[in-house]
Structure 1
Amino acid sequence: MKTSFTSTVSVQTSLRQAMAKAQSDLVKANTEVTTGVHADMGVALGGATSRNIDLTRDVQRIEAQQTTNSVAKQRLDSSEESLKRLGDLSQKVLDSLAALTSSTSTLGDARATISNALDAFTDIANTSVTGEYLFSGTNTDVKPLASFSASGSPFKAAVDAELNNYLSTNGIAAAKDMTPTQMQTFLDDLQSKFNGTTPLTDPPHTGLGGQDFWSTFVSDASSTNMTTRISATEVVATSTTANTPGFRNFVFASVVGSQFLSDDMPENVRTVISNSATSAIGKAISGINDQRSDIGLSSQRVKEADDSLAAQKTIIETHLNDLQGVDAYEASTRVTSLQALLEAAYTLTSRIQKLSLVNFL
């Protein structure tokens, strides 16, 4: 019979190696339990790893597109709400013009209502969301509309210059001395300048002859709308601009109503002013409603694109789960087994370390 000797060092070394492997396996198993996917995709999937990478990239692309769409949706929703408020202000101006009578109190109330509506319209038109102005077109960092009522307003000074030039050219002492025909001619010319069909002249605008009244004195907005890619194949307009006919006509009607419907104007001249303002505000309401419709259509397209992206993401994630998913029960059982193995190894190691010849002497 032959006796073999095994040193405690060799036993400890074997245990240490087994424990290191068990610890490594335990970390992987815990990761799989927590994440629900393989801890090492390359080892687990082999040749299918490239497929897994492609699908993961597709999910990330869809999530990035959904983030972009959420920003576009926020801009569209804010624009739609602002346009609704602008439409309400337009209706308020129309109601004030329709209710005009020859009484001084009614004229004063109408002028105040229209002037306040113009200030409110300007404030709403200058609304910004996440640092971008809604109605500036592609000039998102620029406030679109200038204030007419602000102290020293170049916009108001330009309108006054147009009036004074017309009066002096035609030998009229004051606006209250204009005939209905003269007032109609002046307002038609002023409206054509607001709408961009007639350029500025020099005089009265020194050095600005041939330029556009609206873009020179009223608006810093771009006439080009913001666009956003909402899917691989779709690009939609996700803003509108203050340079549209709806905005121009509202501002013209409000300026005319607040500035020229004065008490000292003859009634027949006031009728011309009221009719001109009423016609313009009607066009403003129609134009703003058209803008709301366009924004609404874009919102619907974004929603449909989001629904499509969500469906695509669900399909891809289903394939990914089949490819890289692990059995949670199996992984949990593996964690329990590895923990038990480590506990046994720790106990055995402790006992081996306590072995000593001194205990047998």
Structure 2
Amino acid sequence: MKTSFVSTLSIQTTMRNSIAGVQREMVKANQEAVTMKHADLGVALGANTSRALDLSREITRINSLVSSAALATQRLETTELALANMNESALTIQSAILTLGNSGDEGSLATARKAMTNALESFTTFANTAVQGEYIFAGINSDVKPMNDYFAAGSPAKAAIDAEFNHFLSSNSIASASAMTKDQMESFLTGLEKKFTGEVPLSSPPHAAAIAGQDLWKAVFSDASDENMKVRISPSEVVESSTNANSQGMRNFAFASIISMEFLKGEMSQGAREAVATRTTTVIARAMNGVDSINQQRTTIGISTERVAKAGESLQAQEDILTKGLVAMEGVDPEEAATRLNTMKTLLETAYAVTAKIQQLSLANFL
């Protein structure tokens, strides 16, 4: 009979290796219990690993589209609100003109001009609305404030209107503003309106040669781009997420408020004031409901908002389906993962206890 001797060092080495193995498995089990995914996807999925990666990339792309759509929705809703406020300001102008009627009383005229001033100031504020540092009415020039302040000191816009008016007076040998007839005022307003709408460019004189030939609106009123901001809301769909301050509705609003504010004065003849009031009423109506008007822009923005909302719902449904598929591939049973983790903990504690007992073995205890 032969007896084999096993040293305590050999036993301790074996236990250390066992503990190291349990610790590695415990790390994996803990990771799976926390993330609810296989610790090593390559080993767990094998040939399906590439498919899981494709699903993950698609979910990331959809999340990016959802984020873009959320930002676009915020921009669109803010734009619609600003346009609604502009429309309210336009109604204020209409109301002020109707209230004034044919009155030549300076107090009534001053009240009407004050209403026009407030309306233009509000319009400028709304036109310069920004969302997260981007001006929503600036088109693709989103980092540039679109509307210049007509009331600012040294305003180029105010100087341009004064230059147009003084040039008309001198060109037609009209001694002063008070001498203008109704027909002359109508002629002046017709010419000025064509320059506001961009139909007729600026000329030199009365303007500096540097801006001669340019659009009055873009030269001194607006720094906005004609091209609107766009956002991709699905792999195949792109929508405009804003409008711009160069629309005819905004030009008409500014024109109507400025002519009534500047020329509804007691010094003007009754006929000239009537021409201004009539033109203001006509133009402000076009600003609200004409071609490329404020309300038409509101309709366009509303359609875009609805498209973004529907695209968002579709993207969310796609994300849910893909996420379920990915979880089915990568996921682990949470109860099984927790049980395995507890088992690893028990094994580790047992291994530590056995190792401690072995380390206490000594021949001295048996002598």
Give the TM-score category using the shorter length. Answer: over 0.9
1:161 is aligned to 163
For 2:202 and 2:326, how far apart are their aligned partners in 1? 64
Asked whether 1:215 is paired with 2:218, we answer yes
Q: Which amino acid aligns with 2:318?
A: Q
Cα deviation, residue 268, structure 1? 2.0
Moved over 6 A (4+): none
Tell me how far 1:30 sits from its aligned partner: 1.2
The structural deviation recorded for 1:274 is 0.3
Q: Which residue of structure 2 lines up, in the alignment, with residue 3 of structure 1?
A: 3
How far did 1:81 drift?
Answer: 1.0
- Equivalent residue for 1:271? 274
- Inter-partner Cα distance in structure 2 for 1:235 and 1:70: 14
Quick one: distance in 2 between partners of 1:352 and 1:307? 64
Question: Whole-Å Cα distance in 1 between the matches of residues 187 and 213 of structure 2?
Answer: 20
Provide Cα deviations, 1:260-280, integer angstroms capped at 9, x if missing partner: 000122222211100101111
Query: Which of 240, 259, 284 is the matching residue for 1:281?
Result: 284
Structure 1 distance, partners of 2:310, 2:227, is 24
Matches within 5 A, 1:1-361: 1-101=1-101, 102=103, 103-207=105-209, 208-286=211-289, 287-361=293-367
Give how far 1:123 is off.
Answer: 1.2
C-alpha separation in 2, matches of 1:96 and 1:79: 26
Deviations 1:35-62 (A, max 9, x none): 1111110111111111111111111111
Deviations 1:139-169 (A, max 9, x none): 1111111111111111101000000000001
Q: Which amino acid aligns with 1:250?
A: F
How far the C-alpha of 1:68 sits from its partner, in A, is 1.2
Look up the equivalent residue of 1:43 and give its one-letter code: V
Contact 2:177 2:267 in 1 (8 A): no
Question: 2:327 corresponds to which letter in structure 1?
Answer: N
Which residue type is aligned with residue 121 of structure 2? D
In structure 2, how many angstroms separate the alpha carbons of the residues matched to 1:346 and 1:279?
93
Aligned equivalents of 1:81 and 1:61: distance in 2? 30
Equivalents in 2 of 1:78, 1:311: separation in Å?
Answer: 26
Q: Distance in 1 between matches of 2:317 and 2:175?
A: 72
Amino acid at match of 1:328: P
1:32 deviation in Å? 1.1
TM-score, normalised by the number of residues in structure 1:
0.98
- AA paired with 1:227? K
Q: Deviations over 1:228-283 (max 9, x none)?
A: 11110001111100000110000000100110000122222211100101111111
The gaps in structure 2 that reach 5 residues or longer are: none
Q: Displacement of 1:74 after TM fit?
A: 1.2
Pick which of 203-212 and 146-155 moved more.
Answer: 203-212
Q: Which amino acid aligns with 1:226?
A: M
Cα distance in 1 for partners of 2:32, 2:253 equals: 63
Paired residue secondary structure (1:5): coil
Letter in 1 for 2:272: V
RMSD, aligned α-carbons: 1.0
Number of aligned residue pairs: 361
Matched letter for residue 153 of structure 1: S
Cα deviation for residue 358 of structure 1 reads: 2.1
- Give deviations 1:161-201, integer Å, cap 9, x for gaps: 00000000111111111000000000000000000001111
Identity fraction in percent:
47
